[in-house]
Amino acid sequence: MERAGRIIAGHKSTAACVSPEAIACKIWKSAVGKRIAQHSKAVRLNRDTLVVEVEDAIWQRQLSTLKPQILRKVRELIGPSLVAGLEFRVMVPRRMPERVETHAHKSAPLFDEADAIDDPFLRRLYRTARKKAFA
């Protein structure tokens, strides 16, 4: 019994619907397993070489040693003609978006202790002194 990926990859009518690159990238998790797929991602197919991004150089080295076994499994899933080689590249680190705090939000306290001073002159004097101290 043939695998569905091999049938889809070899069928001429599905070539217009699904690209060989999409097929090769989608089977990556099935070929290497969940644990390795958490640290790597198939990104594109250059001619007959599947380009895989990995987290760091350690993963790159480890997967390079497993290249024959991984390539054999990929060929079992989608056939021998689509992928002839594997290339492992280290991912560019991506930063998560940061929240921007507005200046008005920082400088405007919810409770101002100067409001507790009854005398308006002393209250203004206190605020001026506090402003100079924190500037």
Q: What is the pLDDT of residues 88-134, one digit of tens each?
A: 999 887 777 777 765 555 555 567 888 889 999 999 999 999 988 88
Distance CA 14, CA 31 (A): 22
Q: Provide the mean pLDDT of the chain.
A: 83
The pLDDT of residue 1 = 42
List the chain domain ranges. 4-90, 103-134
- On the question of pLDDT at 9 being above 70, the answer is no
Q: Which tens digits make up the pLDDT trace of 74-86?
A: 999 988 888 999 9
pLDDT at 54 over 80: yes
Q: Which fold has domain 4-90?
A: GMP Synthetase; Chain A, domain 3 (3.30.300)
Judge contact between 9 and 20, C-beta under 8 A. yes
- Predicted confidence at residue 4, as pLDDT, reads 60
What pLDDT does residue 114 have?
Answer: 87
pTM (predicted TM-score): 0.58
Residue of 10 and 25 predicted with greater confidence: 25
CA–CA distance, 81 with 99 (Å, rounded to integer): 48
Residue bearing the bigger pLDDT, 5 or 96: 96
- Residue 59 is given by DSSP the state H
